[in-house]
A = this chain, B = another copy of it.
Amino acid sequence: MENIFDDAYFMKKALQEAEMAFEKGEIPVGAVIVIDNRVIARAHNLTEALNDVTAHAEMQAITAAANFLGGKYLKNCTLYVTLEPCQMCAGALYWSQISRVVYGATDEHRGCGVMGTKLHPKTTIEGGCMAEGASTLMKRFFIEKRNLN
């Protein structure tokens, strides 16, 4: 039987989170953390609602996943996030020693790739998973925001 739990399956969950951020007027980024094909954390960007630059989707997901697991290391976990993590989030992922990071759209200006942020040696990272959905949502957000101002 075909395994329905592929990367696209979980990235869709992250995109649903990004849509929730969009509806709240937040920069639309969503994330889920998965272990053994089970979603143990889901979050979306809340920097505006919480007035807090640290409230990125990934940061909240890391905290929630560690809380679920009862330990701070995210061994055997995969983070799915719609946008490439920034320095802060990649730095948090470094400390979490997460096994795998899968992101959607590349952030050419502030992504961890262009910024040169180091991930933990135990972590693999790959981008471009359902990138079009993520970047379409981002573009729509910034077009609507521009039109409102």
Question: A89: shortest Cβ distance to chain B, in Å?
Answer: 7
User: For the complex, is A123 an interface residue (Cβ under 8 Å from B)?
Assistant: no
Binary per-residue interface labels of chain A (27-59) against chain B in the complex, 1 for a CB within 8 Å, 0 otherwise: 000000000000000000001000111100001
Report Cα–Cα, A81/B20, bound state, in Å: 35
Given the contacts A47-B72, A72-B47, A87 and B53 also touching, CB distance less than 8 Å: no
- A-side interface mostly: helix
Which residues in window 58-115 of A have CB below 8 A to B?
59, 62-63, 66-67, 70-73, 86-92, 94-96, 115
Residues 6-29 of chain A: 1 if any B CB is under 8 Å from the residue's CB, otherwise 0?
Answer: 000000000000000000000000
What is the distance, in angstroms, from A3's C-beta to the closest C-beta of chain B?
30
Least Cβ–Cβ distance between A57 and chain B, in angstroms: 13
Which of A47, A53, A73, A86 is most buried by chain B, counting CB atoms within 10 A of its CB? A53
Known pairs A54-B92, A90-B91, A116-B116 / 9 extra A-B pairs, C-beta < 8 Å: A52-B66, A53-B62, A54-B95, A87-B88, A87-B91, A87-B117, A88-B89, A88-B90, A115-B118
